[in-house]
Structures are given as structure tokens and as C-alpha cells.
Amino acid sequence: MSPVAVLFDIDGTLITTGGAGAVAWRLAFQELHGVPADIGAFSDAGMTDLEVGARTFSSVIGRPSAAEELEELLAVRLRHLPRAVAESSRYRVLPGVNDLLPRLAADGYLLGLTTGGSQAAARVKLARGGLNEYFRFGGFGSDSADRTELTRVAIRRAAAMDGNGLKPHHCLVVGDTPLDIAAAHGAGAVALGVASGHFGVAELEAAGADHVIASLEEELPL
């Protein structure tokens, strides 16, 4: 059945911030705890921000974070993010994206986001590339720390916008990590792996993606 909605991950799928996210995390840990933490040493691509923050906090501070500590960490990280994104010399919109999104919008597909970052962080990252205008809804790390659940949230929002009985299998979830694929399947959607991030075509196929492409310059299975 042809998809009605196409839901995109952000980092590694639509854009790369060139390390701006890690810079913002490092500044937040430095400001609050005096430790310039490197999230890359403690987290995996595709994790939600809540998971990244909690795992990194536990590793560098030596104990689990209290809920209010994690909330404060995320808030300070968000405060540093706009400048980190603006100053990143390696920020770029990934190949194919600037042609694909207007074409999908013109063809009437519902375009949404599935990202482990908060909605505010997502908008900051997309703004520099001029991509926010294409996405009116999504599922975000601020909706749930669980990637499968935030994908379900995005699908429910797509169904509300569609108004014609949209089901999860009408949604194509596009992401660059095995966690994106697992979340898509967990939510009942079709998973498209795009090898534009840390994982290659063979790795995404092995992760069980329904379809895999090398980049968004290729045709989507629509």
C-alpha cells in the first residue's frame, strides 16, 4: 500500500550539524558540573536526548541523575544549541534533501519528523538549513524517551491531520540508524534506511529495514 505520510529522522538523515549537538552537550556539562563531557564516548547514534543525557551523566558524574538534574541539563544544553549550530563550520543539508522535500510536499504527502531531540532542539537544527517549513508535526524526544513511542506519537499526529483513517502501515519512516528501523517496526510503520549517517547499506539491511537507499538522492519507495 502506498504511503500517505513520510516521517524523517533529522541528524544523519536530513542534515548534519557538524558536531554542534555534542558541543552544546559539552558546554552544558561544563557549566553545571565542571566536566566537559564527550557524549560520543557514552551514547549511540539514534538514541533520544533523554537517553544520551542520562547515560553520559551516569558515566562522567558517577551516579544516576535525578529527574530535576536531567531536566536542567537538557534546558542548559538547549540554551547553548542555537549558537553551536550557527557557528558550526561543518553544518550541511544532506544530498538530495533540498530537492526531495518540496517534491513530496507538492505531491501531497504528509511530512513529519521522528527525532530523539526535543521539538525545540529539532527546530533549531532545521532552521539553519531552511527546512522547518516542510514539517508541521512529528514525534520528539520531548514526547517520550523511548524512540518507538515517539514514533507512535508522530503517527497519531499524522492520522489526526489526515482525517481519512491513516494507519501505521501507511507511514514510511526514514532514518539512518538501526534504532530508527526498530522504532518504525515497533510502531507498525514501514522502515526505510538511508545510509547517509554512521551506518552503511549492508548494516541497515542487516537491521531489518524494509527498504535501504544510499542517500536521499535516490528514489523513495513510494
What are the tens digits of pLDDT across the range 192-222?
Answer: 999 999 999 999 999 999 999 999 999 999 8
- Report yes or no: 95 and 196 within 8 Å, Cβ to Cβ: yes
**Residue 39: band (very low, low, confident or very high) from pLDDT cuts 50, 70, 90:** confident
Task: Say whether both 51 and 117 belong to one domain.
Answer: no
End position of a domain, from candidates 44, 67, 87:
87
- Report yes or no: 161 and 137 within 8 Å, Cβ to Cβ: yes
- Report yes or no: 8 and 174 within 8 Å, Cβ to Cβ: yes
* 139 vs 9: CA distance, rounded Å: 10
Task: Say whether both 134 and 156 belong to one domain.
Answer: yes
Q: Retrieve residue 23's grid coordinates.
A: 558541543
pLDDT of residue 5: 97
- Structure confidence by residue, pLDDT tens digits, 47-58: 898 888 999 999
pLDDT of residue 1: 57
In a domain, 221, yes or no: no
In a domain, 222, yes or no: no
Torsion sign across C-alpha atoms 35, 38, 42, 43: positive
Owning domain of residue 52: 20-87
- Structure confidence by residue, pLDDT tens digits, 94-126: 999 999 999 999 999 999 999 999 999 999 999
- Structure confidence by residue, pLDDT tens digits, 144-168: 999 999 999 999 999 999 988 899 9
* 191 vs 184: CA distance, rounded Å: 5
Q: Please tell me which residue, 167 or 36, carries the higher pLDDT value.
A: 167
The amino acid sitting at 133 is E
144-149: long-range pairs with CB below 8 Å, 24+: 144/48, 145/48, 145/50, 145/51, 146/48, 147/46, 147/47, 147/48, 147/114, 147/116, 147/179, 147/180, 147/182, 147/183, 148/182, 148/183, 148/186, 148/187
pLDDT of residue 141: 93
The CATH number given to whatever domain includes residue 58 is 1.10.150
Split into its structural domains, the chain has a count of 2
Task: Say whether both 155 and 204 belong to one domain.
Answer: yes
Task: Say whether both 164 and 108 belong to one domain.
Answer: yes
Task: Say whether both 110 and 139 belong to one domain.
Answer: yes
